[in-house]
């Protein structure tokens, strides 16, 4: 398991670096891509990090042209965060990269084995979420 996590992390880090993103910054882009614009507070809650951490991530992402921050339309205390066209392209490319990587990784696996692997992995991920959520 450790070797798998190290190899996967290395692949992901390399892939993201080619797009000018770190894993943390890519997570922000991914959340905004899938959930749409939100306040910085909502984003910090979605990522389960402090608002200060989100501010640092957003500063770097805004500087890189990945996000825009604008005043909230009805709450003058809040700031809305949205992704740019550049971030949208990056999120779509990340999705395609993951799809191609999975195809390459599992190309030689018979369909029955792949189906069993998928079911097993789904169970393992559910258990892992439960364990990490309870800590």
Under-50 pLDDT residues of the chain: none
Write down the pLDDT at residue 3.
Answer: 92
Residues 96, 116: Cα–Cα separation, whole Å: 24
Please report the sign of the dihedral spanned by the C-alpha atoms of residue 48, residue 51, residue 52, residue 58.
positive
Q: Where are the domains of the chain?
A: 2-107
Write down the pLDDT at residue 135.
Answer: 67
State how beta strands 79-83 and 38-39 pair.
antiparallel
The pTM (predicted TM-score) of the whole model is: 0.80
Residues 30, 27: Cα–Cα separation, whole Å: 5
Residue 51 contacts residue 58 (beta carbons within 8 Å):
no
Residue 59 token pair: 């500063």
Rg of the chain (C-alpha set): 17
The domain defined by 2-107 carries CATH number 1.10.287.130: no
């Amino acid at each position: 398991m450790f070797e798998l996590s190290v190899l996967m992390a290395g692949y992901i880090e390399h892939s993201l670096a080619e797009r000018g993103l770190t894993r943390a910054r890519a997570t922000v882009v991914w959340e905004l891509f899938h959930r749409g614009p939100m306040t910085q507070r909502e984003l910090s809650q979605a990522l389960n990090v402090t608002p200060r951490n989100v501010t640092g991530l957003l500063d770097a992402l805004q500087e890189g042209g990945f996000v825009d921050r604008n005043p909230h339309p009805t709450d003058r205390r809040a700031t809305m965060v949205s992704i740019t066209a550049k971030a949208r392209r990056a999120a779509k490319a990340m999705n395609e990269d993951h799809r191609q990587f999975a195809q390459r990784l599992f190309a030689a696996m018979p369909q029955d084995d792949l189906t069993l692997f998928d079911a097993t992995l789904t169970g393992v991920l559910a258990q892992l979420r439960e364990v990490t959520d309870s800590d």
